[in-house]
Structure 1
Amino acid sequence: MSPPESPAPAALPGTLAGPVDHELVVKKSRFLAHVAPARTVEEADAVVARLRKELWDARHHCVALVVGTHADRQRSSDDGEPSGTAGVPMLEVLRRRGLTDVVAVVTRYFGGVLLGAGGLVRAYSGAVAEALDHAAAEGLLLRREILTEVTVDVPHADAGRVDHLLRDWATTHGAVLEEPTYAAVARLALLVPPGALPRLRDDLAAASAGALVPAPGADRVVDLPAS
């Protein structure tokens, strides 16, 4: 009897390549959403502090943040809005979209019309959701994968040919080619999905009559285009 298959590892949450802004107007109130990369709570706090300074005349600056490789730390603030109507709905959007290392700030300029709890929830969550829709359209969403660092030592005379081979291989196997280094030999480097390592060994052996052997190194969390 074959041993049971190991479950596939859970996908890591993604992140943003850069900040995105979006304005939502609801019954004359302006909701200015700013969603930005932030790898630490301190970076997120700095984004919030900057917006508070720039938009000093606004009534509310509501916040949601998620940081950590596995979305380990999460925080939200209603900043004076009724409890549970702003920060938590914003945070829920970030969770549903599977994002981490991001901070969302929605600045509200009150328009004179009360929206009620439900209206506030829809406005704050909608502002963040629409900002992230724009981020997706602009190619700012990133997925994350754990890839293995691999090096291949090649004689200088063969470096160009093997570099070309690895570039082609990387595009069809979800790998990422890194910058080579040159010393006594040319050291070519790439980041490879762990499950593709046996295939890389076989393909290099076939292309070099067994002369080239990839050397796996450490695993690394890598940001890649979501598409």
Structure 2
Amino acid sequence: MLVLPNVLSDRGSRYAVSGGAARDADDAAAFIKELKRKKKFAKATHNSWGLILADGTQLKGDDGEAGAGMVILRMLEREGLHDVIVVVTRWYGGKHLGGDRFRHVQSCVEAFLAQWRAGD
């Protein structure tokens, strides 16, 4: 499990990104459960995620952050990355971010991908 705990902050909202190997929906659920064992992540406002399986099946969860899972999936698709779940965590800071929230999700996924590639 790769966790980047403090990727960025904007108007009080804070973002983190995590990821790791996942081969099916059960692995994805287990990953999220393990992540939320950390009190900090369990108390997050959103844990949005995406995963593309080796057979091309796309799985995602917005966790209340509408559209965030699809942003993650599109980035994984462009990267050609399969069997790796990516979770973008947000702690809401009290101010709406509008479209900036999608740019922040992208920035988090980019940070994860850079670290993930560096580990290969």
Per the normalisation by structure 2, the TM-score is: 0.86
Deviation at 1:101, TM superposition (A): 0.5
Q: Percent identity?
A: 34
Residue 74 (structure 1) aligns with: 58
The offset of 1:112, in angstroms, is 2.2
In structure 1, what residue type is equivalent to 2:42? W
Whether the aligned pair in 2 keeps the contact of 1:35 and 1:128 (CA below 8 Å) is no
The superposition leaves residues 25-83 of structure 1 with CA deviations (integer Å, 9 ceiling, x where unpaired) of 23131111001111222111100112233222111111111112x4x2111121112x2
Q: How does 1:36-55 map to 2 (within 5 A)?
A: 36-54=20-38, 55=41
How many equivalent residue pairs? 116
Give 1:97 shift: 0.7
Q: Distance in 2 between matches of 1:75 and 1:99?
A: 13
Q: Shift in Å at residue 24 of structure 1?
A: 1.9
1:25 maps to which of 4, 8, 17: 8
User: Offset at 1:109?
Assistant: 0.9
1:57 correspondence with 2:40: no
Conserved in 1, the CA contact under 8 Å of 2:13 and 2:91?
Answer: yes
What is the identity, as a one-letter code, of the residue corresponding to 2:113?
Answer: L
> What code does the residue aligned with 2:116 have?
A
Q: Is the 8 A contact 1:36 1:103 kept in 2?
A: yes
Letter in 2 for 1:131: F
Kept in 2: contact 1:52–1:61 (CA 8 A)? no
- Work out which of the residue numbers 81, 87, 91 in structure 1 matches 2:73: 91
Q: For residue 113 of structure 1, report the CA deviation from its aligned partner.
A: 2.4
Q: What does residue 116 of structure 2 align with?
A: 135
Larger radius of gyration between Structure 1 and Structure 2: 1
C-alpha distance in 1 between matches for 2:59 and 2:101: 19
SS of 1:44's equivalent? helix
**4+ residue runs over 6 A deviation:** none
Deviations 1:73-128 (A, max 9, x none): 111121112x22x1110111111111001111111111222110x21111112101
Gaps of 5+ in 1: 1-18, 141-227
Task: Name the structure with the higher helix share.
Answer: 2
Distance 2:48 2:36 in 1: 10
The answer for the alignment partner of 2:106 in structure 1 is 125
Q: Give yes or no for the alignment of 1:108 onto 2:90.
A: yes
